[in-house]
Structure 1
Amino acid sequence: MPEPLLELKNVSSYYGPIRALNKVNMVLYPGEMVCLLGGNASGKSTTLKTILGIVRNAEGEIWFRGQRVDRLSTAERIELGMAVVPENRRIFPKMTVRENLEMGAFLRRDPKGIKEDMEYVFSLFPRLEERLNQLGGTMSGGEQQMLAMGRALMSRPKLILMDEPSMGLAPRLVETIFKIIKRVNDEGITVYVVEQNANISLRIADRGYVLQTGEVVLSGPAQDLLNNEAMRRAYLGEV
């Protein structure tokens, strides 16, 4: 078994006196796609924010690329190779598509590599190349999601963390976005998807974790979770 790329060991996080995560253990290996599932207020987004250092864990340890990172700032974790596609996209609305993509590469100092990665992003999202000089805020929700993903890829990350990529998108567009997520993963980038849409994310993931009130209540290979009766009742809308 290879060394984990990301590992959470007994991680607990709080909002004031309220415990949002309770002794969460989780591991991602290089090249995997892992999804984190759960209903509203289950702790999914808190887990992602804790990995990034936006929320500080009160207990436990977070390891990334063989290094303990829970004492590092968010910026330092990004420099080590994390990239995030935030909930509701959060692109820079008053910047053009080109400027948004360039912001994703702001830590890099390799113009040739940046140009190559820009071409790679355009191969995934031809629409972005067509709209290069358009302001991000004037684009549709689906186009903004493509831009947020493209911006994350411009940092040449070791790990992409995605927060609810299907939120607010039409079903047809959700299928398109998840096909692209799968393609990115197939090309070697480790992907961690926080998602309420269990059905579509488990269909393309390697493994999954299910959170309930801040605790991992189920985990395993994606296919096993899809076939799990309790999972089907609770998260897949089946009886």
Structure 2
Amino acid sequence: MPEPLLELKNVSAYYGPIRALNQVNMVLYPGEMVCLLGGNASGKSTTLKTILGLVQVGEGEVYFRGERIDPKPTSYRIEKGMAVVPENRRVFPKMTVRENLEMGAYLRNDAKGIKEDLDYVFSLFPRLEERLGQMAGTMSGGEQQMLAMGRALMSRPKLILMDEPSMGLAPKLVETIFKIIKTVNERGITVFVVEQNANIALSIADRGYVLQTGEVVLEGPAQELLHNEAMRRAYLGEV
């Protein structure tokens, strides 16, 4: 088995006196796509913020690329190879598409590599190339999602963390976005997707974890979770 790329060991996190995560254990291996599922207030976004260092670890440890990172700031984790596609896209609205993409590469100084990655982003999202001069805030939700993904890819990350990529998008567009996420993963980039749409996330992931009130209640290969009776009842709306 290869060394884990990311590992959470007995991680608990708090908002004041309220425990948001309780003894969470997770592991991601290089090249995998793993999804984190759960209902509202299950702790999904808190897990992502804890990985990024936006929420402090109360107990436990977080490792990335073999190094313990829970004492490290968010900026350090980004430099080490994490990139995030945040909930609700969070593009820079008063900047152009080009400027948003350039922001993704702001830690890099390899002009040739940046150009190659820009071409790759345009191959995934031709619409972005058509709209390079457009202000990001004037784009549709789907286009902003594409831009947020393109911006993350411009940092040439080892790990992309995605927070609810399907949120607020039309079903047809959700399908397109998830196909592109799969394509990115097949290029060798490890992807961690936090998602409420269990069906679509499990259909493309390798493995999944299910959170309930801050605890991992189910985990396993995606196909097994897709056919797990408890999972189907709780998250896929079937009885």
> Structure 1-normalised TM-score?
1.00
1:134-190, CA deviations, whole angstroms, 9 ceiling, x for partnerless residues? 000000000000000000000000000000000000000000000000000011000
The equivalent residue for 2:33 is: 33
Q: Give the Cα separation in 1 of the matches to 2:111 and 2:238.
A: 51
Q: How does 1:119-158 map to 2 (within 5 A)?
A: 119-158=119-158
Matched AA of 2:104: G
- Percent identity between matched residues is 85
Matched AA of 1:131: R
Q: How does 1:39-188 map to 2 (within 5 A)?
A: 39-188=39-188
- Shift, 1:95, TM fit: 0.3
> Structure 2-normalised TM-score?
1.00
- Shift, 1:219, TM fit: 0.1
The equivalent residue for 1:15 is: 15
- Shift, 1:200, TM fit: 0.1
The equivalent residue for 1:238 is: 238
Q: Secondary structure at the match of 2:167?
A: coil
Query: After the TM superposition, which parts of structure 1 deviate over 3 Å for at least 4 consecutive aligned residues?
Result: none
Q: Give the Cα separation in 2 of the matches to 1:174 and 1:14.
A: 32
Q: Secondary structure at the match of 1:176?
A: helix
Matched AA of 1:222: A
- Shift, 1:57, TM fit: 0.6
Q: Secondary structure at the match of 2:233?
A: helix
- Give the superposed CA RMSD: 0.3
- Shift, 1:14, TM fit: 0.1
The equivalent residue for 2:227 is: 227
Aligned length: 239
The equivalent residue for 2:213 is: 213
Q: Give the Cα separation in 2 of the matches to 1:36 and 1:220.
A: 11
Q: Give the Cα separation in 2 of the matches to 1:227 and 1:126.
A: 36
- Shift, 1:26, TM fit: 0.1
Q: Give the Cα separation in 2 of the matches to 1:187 and 1:105.
A: 19
- Shift, 1:207, TM fit: 0.1
1:101-143, CA deviations, whole angstroms, 9 ceiling, x for partnerless residues? 0000000010111011000000000000000000000000000
- Shift, 1:72, TM fit: 0.3
Structure 2 residue runs of 5 or longer lacking an equivalent are: none
- Shift, 1:191, TM fit: 0.1
Q: Give the Cα separation in 2 of the matches to 1:57 and 1:143.
A: 34
Q: Give the Cα separation in 2 of the matches to 1:117 and 1:204.
A: 24
Matched AA of 1:179: K
Q: Secondary structure at the match of 1:161?
A: strand
Matched AA of 2:109: R
